[in-house]
C-alpha cells in the first residue's frame, strides 16, 4: 500500500510520501511520516509528526488488491488549525498573546480552556465587558496589557503542570459567526536539577503512565524542541532501546512500567547541561516532555552531592 499527497487516481499514489510491502514500511519521504498501527492487522493509518500549515490538503491511501481496478482507495482531507505556541517553566508568569483592532470600538472578550467552540468559550477562565474584567476563575489570571487598545493577552501567574494545553481567546463581534477567535497552546516544562560526580554514574529521572500501553520516547541533549529530540542520545520503541549514541547512555529501569530514566556512565564536565526526556503521545502537541539540568562536580570527595542510583 502507499500514501500520497492529492486525490487518488487510477493507479499508484500521487506525490507518494510512504509505501509498504505489506509487512513493513519500505520507504518514507520523511521521518515525519509513520505507520504506528499494526500493519499485519490491516491498520495502515498515517501519522504526521510536527504538523505544519503546509501539510493541509488531500491525502490518498491506496491498498493494492490483485485484479484490474480492485485497489482500495480513500481520500482524506487534512485541515491544520493555526495555534500559537507559548512555552515556559514551572512557577513562571506566562502571557498568552491575543489582540484585535479597535477601530469600531472595544469588544467583549472571553478566555477558555480547550479549542474555540462555534459560539462560546469552553471552560471559561476569564471574561470582560468592553472596558474591564467582569469575571475570572482565579486571581492567577490577569489582563495586564491595555484593554482599551485591544490587547487582551492573558497572563497566568506561577504556572503549574495543570496549566498546560490549548486556550481560546474569543472577541465578540456582532453578526452570525463573526467572532474573532485565536488559539494558543501552552507548554509547561518540568525542569529538575541533578548533580553528579566526575567519573561516576548519574540517573536522570523520567517516567510516564503506561495504563494505555507503552509508547516511543527519546532522550536528547538540550531543551525540548517542538518535535522529537535535539542531539538524540537514546531512542526506544516502547518495549526496548532501539538506538543509542553511546554505551555510556543506558535505560536501566523497567520500560514496560514506564520508567525511562537515563543513566549516564563515566561522567565528565562535558556532560553538564540540559537534557530532554520526550514521550510520544498521539495527537497534536500532546507529547510529554521533561527537562533536567545536570551539573557535574569535579571533587569526588564531596560525596554529599553525589546522586545515588
In this prediction, residues 39-50 reach a mean pLDDT of 88
Judged against a pLDDT cut of 80, whether residue 226 lies above it is answered with no
Q: Is the pLDDT of residue 132 over 50?
A: yes
Q: Are 167 and 267 in contact (CB under 8 A)?
A: no
What is the Cα–Cα distance from 44 to 50, expressed in whole angstroms?
19
Structural domains of the chain, ranges and CATH numbers in brackets: 2-78 (2.60.40.10), 83-187 (2.60.40.10), 198-305 (2.60.40.10)
CA distances in angstroms from 150 to 92, 171, 182, 184, listed in the order given: 25, 10, 14, 17
pLDDT confidence bin for 88, thresholds 50/70/90: confident
Q: How buried is residue 289: exposed, middle or buried, by Cβ count under 10 Å (0-12/13-18/19+)? A: buried
Tell me the average pLDDT of the chain. 89
- Transcribe 85-111 into DSSP letters: EEEEETT--EEE--B---TT----EEE
C-alpha cell of 114? 480547550
pTM for the full predicted model: 0.49
pLDDT band at 286 (very low <50, low <70, confident <90, very high): confident
Mean pLDDT in residue range 199-219: 93
Q: Which residues pair with 279 in a beta bridge?
A: 217, 288
Helices (H) and strands (E) in the chain, counts: 0, 24
* Lowest model confidence (mean pLDDT) among 132-136, 145-149, 297-301, 305-309: 305-309
pLDDT at 282: 83
Mean pLDDT over residues 215-222, rounded?
Answer: 94
Give the pLDDT score at 304.
41
- What pLDDT, on the 0 to 100 scale, is given for residue 284? 66
The pLDDT value recorded for residue 21 is 94
Dig out the grid coordinates for 254 from the structure.
523497567
Query: What tens digit of pLDDT does each residue of 94-112 get?
Result: 999 999 988 889 999 999 9
What are the Cα distances from residue 122, in Å, to 90, 125, 150, 191?
24, 9, 22, 30
Amino acid at each position: 500500500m502507499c500514501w500520497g499527497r492529492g486525490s487518488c487516481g487510477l493507479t499508484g499514489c500521487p506525490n507518494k510520501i510512504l509505501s509498504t510491502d505489506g509487512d513493513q514500511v519500505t520507504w518514507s519521504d520523511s521521518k515525519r511520516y509513520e505507520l504506528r498501527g499494526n500493519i499485519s492487522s490491516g491498520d495502515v493509518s498515517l501519522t504526521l509528526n510536527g504538523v505544519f500549515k503546509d501539510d493541509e490538503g488531500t491525502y490518498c491511501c491506496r491498498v493494492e488488491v490483485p485484479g484490474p481496478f480492485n485497489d482500495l482507495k480513500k481520500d482524506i482531507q487534512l485541515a491544520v488549525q493555526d495555534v500559537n505556541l507559548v512555552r515556559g517553566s514551572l512557577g513562571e508568569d506566562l502571557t498568552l498573546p491575543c489582540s484585535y483592532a479597535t477601530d469600531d470600538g472595544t469588544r467583549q472578550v472571553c478566555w477558555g480552556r480547550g479549542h474555540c467552540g462555534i459560539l462560546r468559550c469552553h471552560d471559561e477562565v476569564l471574561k470582560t465587558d468592553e472596558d474591564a474584567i467582569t469575571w475570572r476563575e482565579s486571581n492567577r489570571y490577569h489582563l495586564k496589557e491595555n484593554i482599551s487598545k485591544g490587547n487582551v493577552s492573558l497572563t497566568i501567574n506561577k504556572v503549574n503542570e495543570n496549566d498546560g494545553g490549548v486556550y481560546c481567546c474569543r472577541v465578540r463581534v456582532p453578526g452570525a459567526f463573526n467572532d474573532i477567535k485565536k488559539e494558543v497552546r501552552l507548554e509547561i516544562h518540568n525542569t529538575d536539577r541533578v548533580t553528579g560526580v566526575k567519573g561516576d554514574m548519574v540517573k536522570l529521572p523520567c517516567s510516564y503512565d503506561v495504563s494505555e500501553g507503552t509508547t516511543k520516547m527519546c532522550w536528547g541533549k538540550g531543551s525540548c524542541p517542538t518535535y522529537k529530540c535535539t542531539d538524540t542520545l537514546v531512542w526506544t520503541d516502547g518495549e526496548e532501546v532501539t538506538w543509542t549514541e553511546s554505551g555510556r547512555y543506558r535505560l536501566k529501569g523497567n520500560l514496560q512500567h514506564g520508567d525511562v530514566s537515563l543513566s549516564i556512565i563515566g561522567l565528565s564536565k562535558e556532560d553538564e547541561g540540559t537534557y530532554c526526556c520526550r514521550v510520544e503521545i498521539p495527537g497534536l502537541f500532546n507529547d510529554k516532555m521533561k527537562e533536567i539540568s545536570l551539573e557535574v562536580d569535579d571533587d569526588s570527595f564531596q560525596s554529599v552531592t553525589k546522586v545515588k542510583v
